[in-house]
């Protein structure tokens, strides 16, 4: 009997997102999204790759549900493509788009799998971007209408809703660093966008509850412990500033404290969010979704650095020089960071429940004789699940853990060059090959425990 067992109610799962797996971008009335535009713009993604076909999940979903059934995980997290539901972002509903998710939800339930539905995983309808996108308050209203439309259709069967995935990434990679769609590079826009995302979260949460009183609503934040690169005052101040931008800017208003004062001051010359919106943002959460991959290692840097506010993140070379093992993304592998993060969240915010909505790693997997022996991923996942277990023992209310990702998929600007899946996808044939980590995870789920050792 393992000493690291998990409660029977613990929700094990895997996660995916619409644009990363679906393909079929022109099918059944789907409109274009900002990721179609961005990925088709030369120079934006690895080798010009796009999500046009991706894993072809739009056609192969029965096969993917069969994989989920074999895995035995009680839950599955996926996202809905807004442009399938509203091809123009608002206005006329595309019933065929809703039908797709309706069938998917029914099939999941038939397989005994609990759906966790993310409403916004980055594929804004291009028509809304043409009107200013998330920088415009009108997009908030369009999002709420979209959320209501989806909940009206699926809310009788879907209980768990995630409004947004990683609003920091949407704001900063999409609107400040320009590495994600829509490719804007303007800090003021990024801060404004972060505020609109949070307001839309609060309003959508209210709307979901009004339509579906049994709903459990959360948001998935990308959170990391922030580690100063040295003990110097300047590095420690930079780490404090970055913690404000990455973590507290989102957590504080969600948990009813308003925006953190230090970060507000730091960003005031770019955008000052109206305090009057803070009550809306603070609509109580049923659970906090945590996406964790790696800590952020921060050093002070002159004004005009990539982060624009006197700091920068350490590069993969610098991390390697410090002895960290890295994933294929160049991210340091630090499982203790997850435990620290969870303990901090519990101590400082007391969320009613936490769900690890994403955790996983990219490694350069290749099949050998039809088998993908991804031992590095197994080690990564085992160490992070162990960290979750330690947090549970310390009293953190973690209710679930979702591996990112079920399938190798379109890793945004990296295209198909980074493989996060526990199932290998051959992009020539679109064949799925469960990796060794799939078998490992299946055993953990079946035993509700990590093997000893
Ligand atoms: O693939 C992404 C996902 O869409 C959001 N969270 C991080 C993952 C890995 O980069």
- pLDDT at residue number 42: 98
Give 156's pLDDT tier (boundaries 50, 70, 90): very high
Pocket probe for ligand 1: among 14, 15, 17, 171, the residue whose CB has the most ligand atoms within 8 Å is 17
Give the closest residue (by CA) to ligand 1 atom 10.
411
Under CATH, which architecture does the 4-448 domain have?
Alpha-Beta Barrel (3.20)
How far apart, in whole angstroms, are the C-alpha atoms of residue 289 and residue 295? 17
pLDDT of 305 higher than 90: no
Measure 234 CA to ligand 1 centroid, in angstroms.
Answer: 31
Measure 411 CA to ligand 1 centroid, in angstroms.
Answer: 7
How far apart, in whole angstroms, are the C-alpha atoms of residue 205 and residue 342? 23
How far apart, in whole angstroms, are the C-alpha atoms of residue 88 and residue 91? 7
Cα distance from N-terminal residue to C-terminal residue, the chain: 12
Domain boundaries, the chain: 4-448
Q: Is the CB of 411 under 6 A from ligand 1?
A: yes
How far apart, in whole angstroms, are the C-alpha atoms of residue 108 and residue 100? 12
Pocket probe for ligand 1: among 79, 166, 167, the residue whose CB has the most ligand atoms within 8 Å is 166
Measure 210 CA to ligand 1 centroid, in angstroms.
Answer: 30
pLDDT of 307 higher than 80: no
Considering the candidates 22, 283, 339, 358, report the single residue annotated as catalytic. 358
Cβ count within 10 A of residue 362: 24
- pLDDT at residue number 105: 99
Q: Which of 355, 215, 208, 195 is nearest to 288 (CA)?
A: 355
Q: Is the CB of 357 under 6 A from ligand 1?
A: no
Max CA pair span of the chain:
61
Bridge partners for 326 per DSSP = 332
pLDDT of 306 higher than 80: no
Q: Is the CB of 166 under 6 A from ligand 1?
A: yes
Give the closest residue (by CA) to ligand 1 atom 2.
411
Q: Is the CB of 17 under 6 A from ligand 1?
A: yes
pLDDT, mean of residues 373-383 = 98
pLDDT of 228 higher than 90: yes
pLDDT, mean of residues 299-327 = 88
pLDDT in tens, 65-101: 999 999 999 999 999 999 999 999 999 999 999 999 9
Q: Which of 310, 345, 311, 317 is nearest to 332 (CA)?
A: 317
**Residue 194: phi, psi to the nearest 5?**
-60, -40
Give the closest residue (by CA) to ligand 1 atom 9.
411
- Return mean pLDDT, the chain: 97
Rg over CA atoms, the chain? 21
Give 133's pLDDT tier (boundaries 50, 70, 90): very high
- pLDDT at residue number 327: 98
Instruction: Read off the pTM.
Output: 0.98
Tokens coding 421: 């899946």
pLDDT, mean of residues 390-397 = 98
Atom of ligand 1 nearest to the CA of 20: 4
Pocket probe for ligand 1: among 45, 181, 412, the residue whose CB has the most ligand atoms within 8 Å is 412
Percent of the chain with pLDDT over 90: 96
Give 158's pLDDT tier (boundaries 50, 70, 90): very high
Considering the candidates 166, 283, 339, 411, report the single residue annotated as catalytic. 166
């Amino acid at each position: 009997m393992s000493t690291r067992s998990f409660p029977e109610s613990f929700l094990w799962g895997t996660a995916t997102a619409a644009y990363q797996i679906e393909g079929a971008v022109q099918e059944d009335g789907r409109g274009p999204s900002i990721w179609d535009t961005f990925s088709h713009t030369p120079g934006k993604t690895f080798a010009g790759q796009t999500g046009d076909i991706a894993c072809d999940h739009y056609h192969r979903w029965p096969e993917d549900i069969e994989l989920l059934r074999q895995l035995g995980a009680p839950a599955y997290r996926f996202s809905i493509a807004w442009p399938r539901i509203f091809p123009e972002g608002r206005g006329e509903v595309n019933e065929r788009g809703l039908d797709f998710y309706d069938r998917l939800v029914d099939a999941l339930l038939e397989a005994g799998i609990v759906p966790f539905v993310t409403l916004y995983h980055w594929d804004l309808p291009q028509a809304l971007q043409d009107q200013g996108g998330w920088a415009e308050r009108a997009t908030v209203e369009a999002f709420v209408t979209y959320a209501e439309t989806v909940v009206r259709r699926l809310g009788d069967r879907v209980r768990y809703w995630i409004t947004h995935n990683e609003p920091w990434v949407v704001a900063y990679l999409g609107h400040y660093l320009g590495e994600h769609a829509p490719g804007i590079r303007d800090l003021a826009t990024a801060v404004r966008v972060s505020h609109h995302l949070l307001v839309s979260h609060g309003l959508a949460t209210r709307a979901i509850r009004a339509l579906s009183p049994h709903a459990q609503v959360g948001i998935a934040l990308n959170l990391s412990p922030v580690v100063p690169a040295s003990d110097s005052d300047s590095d420690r101040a930079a780490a404090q500033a970055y913690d404000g931008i990455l973590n507290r800017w989102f957590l504080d208003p969600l948990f009813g404290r308003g925006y953190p004062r230090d970060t507000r001051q730091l960003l005031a010359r770019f955008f000052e969010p109206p305090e009057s919106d803070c009550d809306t943002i603070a609509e109580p959460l049923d659970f906090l979704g945590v996406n964790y991959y790696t800590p952020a290692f921060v050093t002070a840097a002159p004004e005009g650095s990539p982060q624009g506010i006197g700091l920068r993140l350490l590069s993969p070379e610098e991390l390697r020089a410090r002895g960290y093992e890295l994933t294929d993304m160049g991210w340091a592998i630090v499982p203790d960071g997850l435990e620290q993060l969870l303990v901090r969240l519990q101590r400082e915010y007391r969320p009613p429940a936490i769900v690890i909505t994403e955790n996983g790693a990219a490694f350069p997997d290749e099949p050998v004789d039809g088998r993908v022996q991804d031992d590095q991923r197994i080690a990564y996942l085992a160490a992070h699940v162990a960290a979750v277990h330690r947090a549970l023992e310390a009293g953190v209310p973690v209710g679930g853990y979702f591996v990112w990702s079920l399938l190798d998929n379109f890793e945004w600007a990296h295209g198909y060059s980074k493989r996060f899946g526990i199932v290998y996808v051959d992009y020539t044939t679109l064949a799925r090959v469960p990796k060794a980590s799939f078998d490992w995870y299946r055993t953990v789920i079946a035993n509700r425990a990590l093997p000893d050792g």
